[in-house]
Chains A and B, each alone.
Chain A
Amino acid sequence: MASYVARRLLYALLTFFGITVVVFALVHSVPGDPISFYIGTHGVSQLSSAALDAIRREHHLDEPLISQYLWWLRGVLTLDFGSSIINHQHVTTRILEKLPNTFILNSIAFLLAAAIGVPIGLWSAARSGRLMERTSAVLFFLLYSLPSFWVALLLMEFFSVKLRMLPLFGMTSDDYLQMSAAEQLLDRLRHLVLPVVTLSYAQLAIFARFSKSALTEVIRQDYITAARAKGVAPQAILWRHAFRNALIPLITLLGLTIPFLISGSVIVEQIFQWDGIGRLYFDSILTRDYPMVLGLTVATAVVTLLASLLADLLYAAADPRIRLEEQR
């Protein structure tokens, strides 16, 4: 097991370096540079070329790409991601400022989607092929294909503008600081409702269909038929024999979903004015704020790698055969 973990870690490290090279090359090959932010977003006025030169020098924009990369890598290895070219703030500070917001929103949406989606998937696996299950499959595909900006606007229009039941945007009310602890919690929950619903309805459909197909696959296996022939109760077959073996694809899905917990969603964050990573990422790309884009990409890459590492370890835990193969 230890060598298995060590090997996985080594792969992760190599992948990480590969990612930094690719991302750096990609970001710099997009046409335009941070200087164009100053030239392009402002009206007719003379710009000070001395100041523009100072920006180029400080961020090494006047050097060859290789040396820019080495400058940047040197920072990354000492955990210094540099500072934003646009507003001079440290990349790490900016990310840590926004990360909790994105994380809270996305993990609640994720948990909700999983908590509702997986049981529905199991339920439909048990009733595979019946009319109810077929209908629900169609409904989930419909749900999955609804564009989130449209759903968000409908939810807003109905619950916030017409009924005035829920807040329109933001994470807390104006008088949040004067509230008692219980009121504060309630206030936060109220602000979470619409964005969470917007984020989770499509995920819910994915979870439901994914767990359904995983379980259906397992139910067809001979040992299930054998268990059924032995006279084991259907509930016990489903939970004790089938579900554990259906976990593998679900773990893969989990590994794939975790990075989204921190990468944020531009659309939902913009519409609900949820001050998170998604919007920061988007703006940084538009302004070609290289240190910011790179910092965010590295953060996402690290989480993705950790998530797939976690998935690998969970595979081993869920399926003893994976461990055995490693020992051979």
Chain B
Amino acid sequence: MKRYLAALFLVLACSNERPLPPTTSVDESTPQEGGTVVRRLQSDVSTLNPILSTSGYDRFVAFFLFTPMVHFDVNLQVIPGLAEKWDIAPDGKLYTFHLNPSATFSDGSPVRASDVLFTLKKIVDPQNEAPQIAGSFEQLDLRNTKVIDDHTIAVAFKQELAAQLAHFNDLLVLPEHVYSKGDFKTDFAARAVGSGPYRLVRREPGKEILLERRPEYWGKRPYLQQVLFKVIIDDGTAWNAMKRGDIDESMIAADTWLMESRRPELTKTIDFRRFYTLTYNYVPWNTRDPMLSDKRVRHALAMCIDLKSIIDNLYHGTARAMNGPFTPDQWAYNPDVPVIEYNPQQAQRILNSLGWLDTNHDGILDKGGKPFKIEMLISGGANPSNPFSQLFQSELRKIGVQLVITPLDPSAFIQRALAGNYQCAYLSWDLDPDPDPFPLFHSSQIPPHGQNFVFYSNPEADRLMEEGRRELDQSKRTTIYHQLHALLADDQPYTWTVQVSSKWAINKRVHNVKESRGWGLFKWYPGELDWWIPSNQRTHDAAARRR
């Protein structure tokens, strides 16, 4: 028996595993065509139907299969996509798009203006249950939206919106003759017909998605012959796969970055990248809570966050301080707004002056017999919100404020937040390229109508947000948002903490990998379409051969 087991083990173990790719010098200036890149998906896509997509990973794949009306370039500026050019009526309510006449779908049929109209109808139809994308076209005026000719469409809106043009990046046009048949909600989860540079070869749920370059593609041809997406949920497994050369790119965890990114045997084959994306961490304050309704209290609490120490010790220098709703890379960011200084003594003085004193000498401030005790909700499990909340807790204890930390899972948290049943939390947001903060801070967005779960309401801020989202003149809009930035920083409905950089590992055989200002490696144009792999380093070609 033992002998058989040993023999079986030998057979299993001795089969050939792929050798590491050779590294020889290549001419960087001339991209080579062909090859297969293996990408990682942190979670399987929920569907290939781009209208119904619910996660960022869905968009990673859709980027190759479909063409949006407009693209974002490396600076996240709007550039032509499926529409070669467009005119916007002076009142900002009518967009006339001229489609690229050579554009075709992967089944060979031309892209028509009627397909654009069809897709818009699908987006705004509540029956399709696509709340995210429908939100981008909430103001669509379908009755006045008209197909002018085969390649021209006039899209009308009930209200002008400065971000509307950028929202057309969400409009991935579907061919009507394909998507109008069958069940729209379920039939297109594993098949796709789009006008993108690649077409779907196959999708194996939970495992992989293989795409292949369209030989007859109407736009600028990408270099890579195939893109293979592999689902790897676990970060540790993905990092091992990266080291083995099984995959070409992966986001990596902060501790992996810290421990591995300087090891010479790894940097030989792996390119470690770190950059900022449109995201920030923040402490939302429930401004309806009697203890937190005074902005001076919120400022005092914010003074107890030692951002410098958090950045140095918690993030090892891979984060930067935030002071408002815009990140330093955004044009809306006001450079004159200061970061709140760490100053617990001052914080204590402020609270004392507001009547919070330790009258019963138990080490905790009190007022009217009530101790200063607040609860902070954090998401459960091992993540950075955990050490942050503990640091904050120990800093607050020094000035006599008791912080109770409650870990919750996201759904449970959202329910409490929307009900106003919380005091503060530690969270992060992913932002859209357009900086409009209306959904978060406008008083009309207070739950149940929207995501203003800090219940912030300031008529002046409301006015700035209303003007800002309608203002079509970029320089005027910048002035408005600079004012808004200062006002929100002063009111502190959130205490903004840090922007943590995104960390990636890329196999060095993949060339010309560039990052955009805010979206990192993916989804902007040309982005991934400019990647290439030298012909002598194509380790994955046999693997993804067409079957």
Residues of A within 8 A of B (CB): 30-33, 36-55, 58, 83, 86-90, 97-98, 153, 156-157, 159-161, 163-171, 173-175, 177-178, 186-187, 189-190, 193, 270-273, 275, 279, 286-288
Contact = CB atoms under 8 A, between A and B. Distances in A.
Contact of A272 (B128, B130, B237, B431): B237
A165 B126 contact: no
Contact of A31 (B15, B416, B430): B416
B439 interface: yes
**A-B complex: 7 closest residue pairs judged by Cβ atoms:** A32-B411, A275-B206, A174-B543, A48-B134, A43-B430, A31-B412, A51-B131
Contacts of A89: 186, 189
Nearest to A42: B132
Given A45-B136, A46-B439, A86-B54, A168 B128 contact: no
Contacts, number: 189
A164 B240 CA distance: 11
A223 to B, nearest CB: 32
A32 B409 contact: yes
A221 to B, nearest CB: 31
A292 to B, nearest CB: 12
A186 B15 contact: yes
Which of B15, B413, B438, B540 has the most chain A CB within a 10 Å cutoff? B15
A51 B414 CA distance: 19
A164 B534 CA distance: 25
Q: How large is the interface on B (under 10, 10 to 19, 20 to 34, 35 or more residues)?
A: 35 or more
Interface of B: 11-15, 17, 46-47, 52, 54-55, 124, 126-132, 134-136, 138, 185-186, 189, 205-207, 228, 230-234, 236-237, 240-241, 243-244, 246, 278, 408-416, 418, 429-432, 437-440, 449-451, 540, 542-545, 547
Contacts of B52: 87-88
B274 to A, nearest CB: 21
Nearest to A36: B414
B312 to A, nearest CB: 28
Given A174-B543, A186-B12, A168 B241 contact: yes
Nearest to B43: A283
A279 to B, nearest CB: 7
Which of A43, A48, A90 has the most chain B CB within a 10 Å cutoff? A48
Contact of A287 (B14, B124, B234, B411): B411
A38 B432 CA distance: 16
Contact of A36 (B46, B415, B439): B415
Nearest to B207: A275
Given A43-B429, A86-B46, A287-B411, A160 B244 contact: yes
A117 to B, nearest CB: 15
A44 B246 CA distance: 34
A114 to B, nearest CB: 15
Nearest to A94: B205
B189 A87 contact: yes
A47 B132 contact: yes
18 contacts: A32-B410, A32-B413, A38-B132, A40-B411, A43-B432, A44-B430, A44-B440, A46-B136, A46-B439, A48-B126, A51-B128, A98-B206, A156-B240, A157-B240, A160-B244, A164-B17, A275-B231, A286-B411
B54 A87 contact: yes
Contacts of B12: 166, 186, 189-190, 193
B134 A286 contact: no
Nearest to B427: A40
Given A54-B126, A86-B54, A168 B237 contact: yes
Given A48-B131, A178-B545, A275-B206, A190 B15 contact: yes
Given A32-B411, A89-B186, A288-B411, A47 B131 contact: yes
Given A44-B437, A168-B246, A175-B543, A53 B189 contact: no
Contacts of A41: 54-55, 410
Contact of A49 (B231, B410, B449): B449
A36 B234 CA distance: 24
A286 B410 contact: yes
A288 B408 CA distance: 14
A31 B411 contact: yes
Contacts of B130: 48, 51
A48 B416 contact: no
A90 B132 CA distance: 22
Nearest to A31: B412
A150 B507 CA distance: 27
A170 to B, nearest CB: 7
Nearest to B204: A275
A131 B323 CA distance: 68
A286 B43 CA distance: 14
Given A83-B186, A175-B543, A44 B207 contact: no
Given A42-B132, A44-B440, A36 B410 contact: yes
A45 B134 CA distance: 10
B547 A39 contact: no
Nearest to A101: B206
Given A51-B129, A52-B131, A39 B244 contact: no
Contacts of A189: 12
A170 B238 CA distance: 11
Contacts of A86: 46, 54
Given A45-B439, A165-B17, A32 B132 contact: no
Given A47-B135, A156-B237, 11 more contacts: A31-B408, A40-B413, A46-B136, A46-B438, A47-B134, A48-B138, A51-B134, A88-B52, A166-B17, A186-B11, A273-B232
A287 B43 CA distance: 14
Contacts of A164: 17, 244
A89 B186 CA distance: 6
A271 B437 CA distance: 38
A286 B430 CA distance: 20
A177 B429 CA distance: 42
A191 B314 CA distance: 38
B53 to A, nearest CB: 9
Contacts of A173: 543
Contacts of B135: 45-48
Nearest to A176: B547
Contacts of A286: 409-411
A243 B93 CA distance: 84
B451 A51 contact: no
A169 B241 contact: yes
Nearest to A46: B135
Contacts of A174: 228, 540, 542-544
Nearest to A30: B412
B54 A38 contact: yes
B14 A32 contact: no
Contacts of B411: 30-33, 36-37, 40, 286-288
A311 B94 CA distance: 71
Contact of B207 (A47, A50, A88, A170): A170
Nearest to B451: A39
B129 A88 contact: yes
Contacts of A159: 13
Which of B136, B232, B413 has the most chain A CB within a 10 Å cutoff? B232
A50 B126 contact: yes
B519 to A, nearest CB: 12
B132 to A, nearest CB: 6
A50 to B, nearest CB: 4
A44 B47 CA distance: 22
